[in-house]
Structure 1
Amino acid sequence: MKRYMFSNYRPKNNFDEYFKDNLNSAREILTPLLSSLDNMGLEELNRNHSAAKKLLLRHGATFRLNDTGLKGTERILPFDPLPRIISKHDWITLEEGLKQRLEAIDLFLDDIYNSQNIINDGIIPRELIESSDGWRPQMLGFKPPLNKWCQISGLDLIRDGKGTWHVLEDNLRCPSGVAYFLENRLVMKNIFPNLFSGRIVKPIDEYPSFLLKTLQELAVWTDTPKIVLLTPGIFNSAYFEHSYLAQEMGIQLVQGHDLICNDEYVYLKTTSGLKRVDVIYRRIDDDFLDPVHFRKDSYLGVSGLLDVMKAGHVAVANVPGTGIADDKMIYSFVPKMIKYFLDEEPIIKNVETYICYYEKDREYVLKNLPKLVVKSVSEAGGYGMLIGPQSTSTEINEFSDKIKSNPRNFIAQPTLELSTVPSLCDGELYPCHVDLRPYILRGKDSWVSPGGLTRVALKKGSLVVNSSQGGGCKDTWVVGN
């Protein structure tokens, strides 16, 4: 039976997370929410949506899109008020799969920067490791505190047209978005409190506490560590998140010029003298972190920081060099990592991936570009990508030339029929494609945020959820006893 609010809603021919059987029946887990939405009505939903956007703006929940020069454009991340619902049963499986994947990736990182068994045993070719933009030979022989390389991760998951979950990408360098994930819930509770009535939704507001605990545990040499968050500054696209997390954890937000390395220690410059720093949560890419060992022209980092790390006198999260696991070609080997290091099968599978570096895969990709998604292995934010079915012949020919000239730089995947969730587009409800970025913290133990940042392609028909490409976000509810 059709719902009043959704009387004009038409799911696409794939997996809609609210409805099944072409709107004839709601998914059981959605019934309480749909009842509340029916009572609210579309007109009130739109009014409250406008109030939600104003509240996000008052909270300063903005990001900077660097499209107009140095200072860029400040805007709120588009917010959609219809929450994405995940059952507790589904979430238990996802949580186990995320922990499994991060454990294998951590073992992989430790291995390639030390004994290199996975290379010597022929599981991953050495040339693919050492040609990656994320490879940092400066980290060879390094052993981080707790032997953990990626303490803070955000993995991108998608649900296909059959409702099956897959890992789409791994984000281990400086994963962003968690502040918007937390703000979304705060806004929903303020503007749409009735939608929570009578429902058990797992809380997410413990994230800053767990993040602080994770960072504290890295300082194995003291029980009272001094922790700072290192930001590139106010013109960074994620500066709101940097300041938000620093405030929530009660730690100082600093820039590179606020820190100095001396006698194999890192110090914070204060009005009362130098204060030793034990842990740095860095939101600066590897290249800019230490001008002595990485980019010489960087003014964002701290000279000599890598030497202090190697002396064991400061912990940096995440460790430089983890970005090699963000390489979309290295991603394709994660199932082999899970088998090699854990002797297990992946709980959450990868999306089928063709590696253009290999001749057989490359030939297939070049013949089938109109029906594939092609990605540059080192790009992010929806850039460096071809969506074959939505591309012109000129764009396809350009990508063909790019692949031929630099095959190591590209992978390809089938154009998946992503799941959809109802979203507000121009005041009406429309099925929009979504992904999910849960956040995983790894200190002495592993902790996974209940839910995560659901990113939504708010342009009708779009498959790109990135904020830089017009995407927005939703609150994500893990529900059930």
Structure 2
Amino acid sequence: MQTSELLQSYLVDTNTWDEMYKNATVREQYKKAVDFLQQLSVEELNKKEELAKRLFMSQGITFTVYSSGEGIEKIFPFDIIPRIITAAEWDYIEKGIKQRLKALNLFLKDIYSTQFIIKDGVVPAEMIYSCPHYLREMHNFPVPYDIYVHISGIDLIRNSDGSFYILEDNLRTPSGVSYMLENREITKRLFPDLLPQNNVRSVTEYPNILHRNLVSLSPRQIYNPTIVLLTPGIYNSAYFEHTTLARLMGVELVEGKDLVVDNHKVFMKTTSGLQQVDVIYRRVDDEYLDPLAFDANSLLGVAGLMSAYRKGNVAIVNAVGNGVADDKAIYTYVPSMIRYYLNEEPILKNVPTYHLERADERELVFNDITNMVIKKTNASGGYGMLMGSAASEKEIVEYKAEVLKNPREFIAQPIISLSTVPCYMNGKLQPRRVDLRPYALCGPDGIEIVPGGLTRVALKEGSMIVNSSQGGGSKDTWVLAT
């Protein structure tokens, strides 16, 4: 049985934007890949799928699911059919993300200093002060080069008309970039000829760009500053990523217990004595970074780290206090920030969003709850949300009661019909929903975005939830050069 027959079974929902098919014809960007796949038998594709699983297993490409109090490591599900984005689409995405990040960076600088955006009534003061990630410790804090967001993962979706929307801004410790890099390496092994034939742009520069930016932030002007990646440790769900990035950049992977602060300087314990640390790429959340400044019970951080940071003796990436800008309630103000700080119209649109602390918006959402998704403003990973269309009557009643306890902690958005892409499932090509997380790196020389990102896939038929923690997977993301 040839794959051409598989394509005939590819049924696209008419109310959904499919990225490969339009009016029963293959879109231009997918033609070469589809022609190639049609030359392979189902047995050959099955072998490639099996090889991908073995490679993920042998390289330990895993993530951890926390259920029933236990951490269970799982292989990250990978779909062998690439997602393909045209050069023009990417150009548009890149411009939109750069514009957004410029505004968010200016917003963070402003709210931690002059607060013009509050004084001018663009963002309400109570919206900022009620955010748990707004840290008074960062007021008038001299952040190197005024860069707060060095690394971001901005989540994008496509609506049924094909237009791109920003779903959320991940500015604290965004994860998933290692899967973007590993997905490309696996694809090179599975389809070595296909990438050059399609003129696919490379994503492998990411660790080099990140390392260059980290070096540029060193407070000591020395040739080879000491850079470390601070991890919460082996039980963290993204530990595989921490080890991968440290290895690819050639920097030390450390835990809080490996560092010590002396005379407002940070040192790493080594076999040959203490070595001064210049830059910390931290994958530890704010509240655990320094037990003297935040949570006194934290064993993940370093006592005195904030004093060394304030004195300018160490750079921390991302800057502390960023969470206020990726709070889902603040998200609704980002288009206003772009107009306010840059005097430009937003290139990429927000998804319509309702604040549930506003009684009129809450009533509107509650009356139409089966068409809504409700999210906690400071949760991630798909946890704590209600998908109205899939929830039972009992779940809806219980969730409404939860919202009413503290409405500030919840926002709602209409359920958007995410775009679909082809996935290889049980010997057939089937459409599945996807989002996209491109990774942007901001350094003293500007913002760089590697051409690609993490495409997350809702592997369950009909599902809209792409998070790996909720049963999602991923696929390689190709950005074409021309």
Which moved further from structure 2: 139-148 or 419-428? 419-428
Q: Which residue does 2:478 correspond to in 1?
A: 477
What's the CA shift for 1:9?
1.1
Counterpart amino acid of residue 311 in structure 2:
A
Partner-residue secondary structure (3-state), 1:336:
helix
Q: Which residue does 2:457 correspond to in 1?
A: 456
Which moved further from structure 2: 358-367 or 339-348? 358-367
* Structure 2 residue 326 is the aligned partner of structure 1 residue 326: yes
What are the ranges of 5 or more consecutive residues in structure 1 without an aligned counterpart?
none
What's the CA shift for 1:49?
0.7
1:94-150 per-residue CA deviation (whole Å, 9 max, x = no partner) reads 101111101100000111111111111111111111111221111111121111001
Q: Which residue does 1:40 correspond to in 2?
A: 40
1:173-194 per-residue CA deviation (whole Å, 9 max, x = no partner) reads 1100000100000000012223
> Contact 2:279–2:314 (CA<8 Å) still a contact in 1?
yes
Task: Give the whole-Å Cα distance in 1 for the aligned partners of 2:225 and 2:100.
Answer: 29
Task: Give the whole-Å Cα distance in 1 for the aligned partners of 2:111 and 2:285.
Answer: 20
Q: Which residue does 1:215 correspond to in 2?
A: 214
**TM-score, normalised by the number of residues in structure 2:** 0.97
Q: Which residue does 1:93 correspond to in 2?
A: 92
> Contact 1:110–1:143 (CA<8 Å) still a contact in 2?
no
Which moved further from structure 2: 49-58 or 468-477? 49-58
Task: Give the whole-Å Cα distance in 2 for the aligned partners of 1:361 and 1:401.
Answer: 16
Query: 1:191-206 counterparts in 2 under 5 A?
Result: 191-206=190-205
> Contact 2:256–2:299 (CA<8 Å) still a contact in 1?
yes
Task: Give the whole-Å Cα distance in 2 for the aligned partners of 1:439 and 1:257.
Answer: 29
Q: Which residue does 1:362 correspond to in 2?
A: 362
What's the CA shift for 1:156?
0.4
Counterpart amino acid of residue 154 in structure 1:
G
Query: 1:22-421 counterparts in 2 under 5 A?
Result: 24-67=24-67, 69=69, 72-223=71-222, 224-421=224-421
> Contact 1:145–1:219 (CA<8 Å) still a contact in 2?
no
What's the CA shift for 1:69?
3.6
What's the CA shift for 1:403?
2.1
Task: Give the whole-Å Cα distance in 1 for the aligned partners of 2:4 and 2:119.
Answer: 59
> Contact 1:260–1:266 (CA<8 Å) still a contact in 2?
yes
Q: Which residue does 2:447 correspond to in 1?
A: 446
What's the CA shift for 1:197?
4.7
1:201-247 per-residue CA deviation (whole Å, 9 max, x = no partner) reads 00010000001011111114313311000001111110010010001
What's the CA shift for 1:68?
5.0
Task: Give the whole-Å Cα distance in 2 for the aligned partners of 1:398 and 1:12.
Answer: 32
Which moved further from structure 2: 26-35 or 386-395? 386-395
What's the CA shift for 1:354?
0.9
Counterpart amino acid of residue 130 in structure 2:
S
Partner-residue secondary structure (3-state), 1:208:
helix
Task: Give the whole-Å Cα distance in 1 for the aligned partners of 2:136 and 2:42.
Answer: 56
Task: Give the whole-Å Cα distance in 1 for the aligned partners of 2:382 and 2:46.
Answer: 29
Partner-residue secondary structure (3-state), 1:380:
coil
> Contact 1:86–1:477 (CA<8 Å) still a contact in 2?
yes
Counterpart amino acid of residue 18 in structure 2:
D
Partner-residue secondary structure (3-state), 1:155:
strand
Partner-residue secondary structure (3-state), 2:96:
helix
What's the CA shift for 1:418?
0.7
Q: Which residue does 2:11 correspond to in 1?
A: 10
> Contact 2:158–2:418 (CA<8 Å) still a contact in 1?
yes
1:63-108 per-residue CA deviation (whole Å, 9 max, x = no partner) reads 11122545x1111110001100000111011101111101100000
Partner-residue secondary structure (3-state), 2:74:
strand
Task: Give the whole-Å Cα distance in 2 for the aligned partners of 1:141 and 1:214.
Answer: 23
Paired residues in the alignment total 477
1:312-361 per-residue CA deviation (whole Å, 9 max, x = no partner) reads 11000001110112211111110011011111111111001111122221
What's the CA shift for 1:248?
0.4
Which moved further from structure 2: 355-364 or 164-173? 355-364
Runs in 1 of length 4+ with deviation above 6 angstroms?
none
Counterpart amino acid of residue 111 in structure 2:
I
Task: Give the whole-Å Cα distance in 2 for the aligned partners of 1:267 and 1:133.
Answer: 30
Partner-residue secondary structure (3-state), 1:274:
strand
Task: Give the whole-Å Cα distance in 2 for the aligned partners of 1:114 and 1:3.
Answer: 61
> Contact 2:219–2:312 (CA<8 Å) still a contact in 1?
no
What are the ranges of 5 or more consecutive residues in structure 2 without an aligned counterpart?
none
Partner-residue secondary structure (3-state), 1:408:
helix
1:293-321 per-residue CA deviation (whole Å, 9 max, x = no partner) reads 11110000000101111101100000111
Counterpart amino acid of residue 344 in structure 2:
E
**TM-score, normalised by the number of residues in structure 1:** 0.97
> Contact 1:33–1:195 (CA<8 Å) still a contact in 2?
yes
Task: Give the whole-Å Cα distance in 1 for the aligned partners of 2:360 and 2:215.
Answer: 48
- Identity percentage of aligned residues: 48
Q: Which residue does 1:433 correspond to in 2?
A: 433
